[in-house]
């Protein structure tokens, strides 16, 4: 007897296919059911227009969500950082699997590290968040770099370095890991230098809110710590009223080991973690102005607690003028 396959809606890009394939295998493991990939082409995949003009990376998500709502597919996998902070009532994030490396990385010519780039080096990124923090670090440390706006898929971006057009590009470690190109990284950027995008490195598995059996099955893949962490990060983004192309970084993780251990708190293995640190940054893309704050407290136990944590930090950031730094559009 053959069991009916679960249909996984996915974009056709190499990154989307890689992460959907990995989730398909994991879902097959926990459900015992075959999983079939259903390719969905989005406007964002075919258009050469500036992503900001067609509504940011949310366009990729919309087509997948439409397919879910129409019942054409049973579930979808998103890069959490590309997911708008508003959750449609008919859909639910059934699982947020354990987060991979959240860091941004540099792929530079001649195996160069960020701080070894020569004067006038041109660094490509389409992200105002990366531009803001790279330029702020450069200003503070006497580096002379120029950030250059680029777009395109991961292979295209790396191509700019290979063909000599740029000295370096900045990408997410998680994406490179998933497509098998992590070996080309020349420098892993500390999150103290470049705070990642809210949700970076995490995936979201989404399905219809009324499919209780599927929600329960997919829930096996959920990692509660990752879920509260990304919830706090996305709450910060939402409370700043910023979109996925705004110059906003956020990361919730374990506090530095020494502090909580002295107070008898966290264990690094995640089993007895009691505290979480949430960091947020907003800056102008030229790196001249920044608001960067953090808060450390008990690990939120519910969605609402995680959401409240992000909102509290956003309120403090807004009090320090964060809103005035977000006026620029992605370009």
Ligand X SMILES: NCc1[nH]cc(CCC(=O)O)c1CC(=O)O
**Could you list the active site residues?**
81-82, 129-130, 151, 157, 244
User: Judged by CB under 6 A, does residue 82 bind ligand X?
Assistant: yes
Q: Report in angstroms how near the CB of residue 102 gets to ligand X at its nearest.
A: 7
Q: Applying CB under 6 A, which part among 108-116, 172-180, 226-234, 263-271 lies near ligand X?
A: 172-180
In a 3-state reduction of DSSP, which class is residue 221? helix
> Of 201 and 280, which CB lies nearer to ligand X in the complex structure?
201
Of 127 and 135, CB closest to ligand X: 127
* DSSP 8-state symbol, 34: -
Cβ 172 to ligand X shortest distance, Å: 3
Kindly state the smallest distance separating residue 30's Cβ from ligand X, in Å: 21
CB of 183 to ligand X, least distance (A): 16
**Site for ligand X (CB under 6 A): how many residues?**
11
Taking CB under 6 A as the rule, does residue 79 contact ligand X? Answer: yes
Residue 166 contacts residue 150 (beta carbons within 8 Å): yes
Give the integer Cα–Cα distance in Å for 180 and 157.
15
| H helices present in 149-223, as ranges | 154-162, 173-178, 212-218
Token pair recorded at residue 225: 């710590």
| Residue 130: CB minimum distance to ligand X, A | 9
Query: Is residue 228 at the binding interface for ligand X, with CB under 6 A as the rule?
Result: no
72 SS3 class: coil
Angle value at C-alpha 313, between 309 and 319, nearest 5 degrees: 145
Of the listed pieces 30-38, 114-122, 140-148, 169-177, which binds ligand X according to CB under 6 A? 169-177
Nearest to 197 by CA among 300, 315, 279, 106: 279
CB contact at 8 A, 98 and 226: yes
Is 171 an interacting residue with respect to ligand X (CB under 6 A)? Answer: yes
In whole angstroms, what is the distance from residue 176 CA to residue 125 CA?
A: 15
Of the candidate spans 63-71, 166-174, 248-256, 258-266, the one that interacts with ligand X by CB under 6 A turns out to be 166-174
Residue 160 near residue 207, CB atoms below 8 Å: no
Residues composing the chain: 331
* Binding status of residue 167 toward ligand X by CB under 6 A: no
Kindly list the residues in this chain that would bind ligand X in the complex (CB under 6 A): 57, 79, 81-82, 154, 171-172, 174-175, 200-201
């Amino acid at each position: 007897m053959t069991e009916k396959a679960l249909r996984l809606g996915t974009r056709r890009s190499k990154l989307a296919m890689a992460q959907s394939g990995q989730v398909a295998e994991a879902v097959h493991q926990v459900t015992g059911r075959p999983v079939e990939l259903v390719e969905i082409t989005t406007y964002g995949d075919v258009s050469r227009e500036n992503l900001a003009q067609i509504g940011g990376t949310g366009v990729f998500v919309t087509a997948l969500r439409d397919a879910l709502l129409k019942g054409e597919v049973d579930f979808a996998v998103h890069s959490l950082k590309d997911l708008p902070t508003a959750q449609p009532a008919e859909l639910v994030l059934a699982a947020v699997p354990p987060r991979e490396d959240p860091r941004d990385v540099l792929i530079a010519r001649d195996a160069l590290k960020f701080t070894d780039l020569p004067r006038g080096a041109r660094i490509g990124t389409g992200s105002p968040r990366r531009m803001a923090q790279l330029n702020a670090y450069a200003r503070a440390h006497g580096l002379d770099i120029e950030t250059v706006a680029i777009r395109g898929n991961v292979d295209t971006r790396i191509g700019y370095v290979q063909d000599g057009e740029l000295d370096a590009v900045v990408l997410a470690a998680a994406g490179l890991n998933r497509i098998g190109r992590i070996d080309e990284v020349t420098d892993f950027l500390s999150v103290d230098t470049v705070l990642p995008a809210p949700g970076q490195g995490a995936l979201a598995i989404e399905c219809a809110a009324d499919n209780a059996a599927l929600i329960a099955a997919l829930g096996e893949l959920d990692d509660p710590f990752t879920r509260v962490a990304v919830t706090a990060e996305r709450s910060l983004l939402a409370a700043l009223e910023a979109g996925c192309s705004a110059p906003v970084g956020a990361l919730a993780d374990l506090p530095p080991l020494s502090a909580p251990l002295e107070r008898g708190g966290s264990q690094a293995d995640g089993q007895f973690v009691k505290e979480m640190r949430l960091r947020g940054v907003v800056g102008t893309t030229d790196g001249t102005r920044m608001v960067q704050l953090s808060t450390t407290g008990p690990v939120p136990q519910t969605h609402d607690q995680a959401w409240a944590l992000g909102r509290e930090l956003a309120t403090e950031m807004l009090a320090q003028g964060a809103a005035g730094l977000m006026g620029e559009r992605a370009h």
